[in-house]
Amino acid sequence: MPTGPEAARAGLCARCVWLRRVPSSRDQIYYLCERSASDPRFRRYPILPVARCSGFEAVDPGAGTLGG
Ligand code: SF4
């Protein structure tokens, strides 16, 4: 799970179970939403930072849900 500045850049995706971080050859990290594979409402590569998302599911259930 991303932390610090990287988490701030990703927004909600940073704490979502559907996020997959994809390292590139240029030391960049791309954020892939795995929900996009089965649901066309979601972008494969979300525009970051994501502030609200109906598909959000917290990695840590104790962290609550901020989606909507
Ligand atoms: S479901 Fe929403 S919050 Fe979760 S990874 Fe995809 S775009 Fe980000």
In tens, the pLDDT along 20-45 reads: 999 988 888 899 999 999 999 999 99
Its pTM stands at: 0.82
- Candidate of 35, 41, 44 to mutate for ligand 1, largest count of ligand atoms within 8 Å of Cβ: 35
What is the band of 9 on the pLDDT scale with cuts at 50, 70, 90? confident
Query: Does residue 17 surpass a pLDDT of 90?
Result: yes
Does residue 33's CB lie within 6 angstroms of at least one atom of ligand 1? yes
Q: What rounded mean pLDDT belongs to the chain?
A: 88
Q: Looking at the DSSP assignment, which residues form a beta bridge with residue 16?
A: 58
On whether the CB atoms of residues 33 and 45 are closer than 8 A, the answer is: yes
- What is the secondary structure of 12-43 as a DSSP string? GGGGBTTEEEEE-TTS-EEEEEGGGGT-TTS-
Residue 36 CA: nearest ligand 1 atom is 6
What region does 39 belong to: left with phi over 0, alpha with psi -120 to 50, or beta? beta
Query: Does residue 64 surpass a pLDDT of 80?
Result: no
Residue 5's pLDDT is what? 80
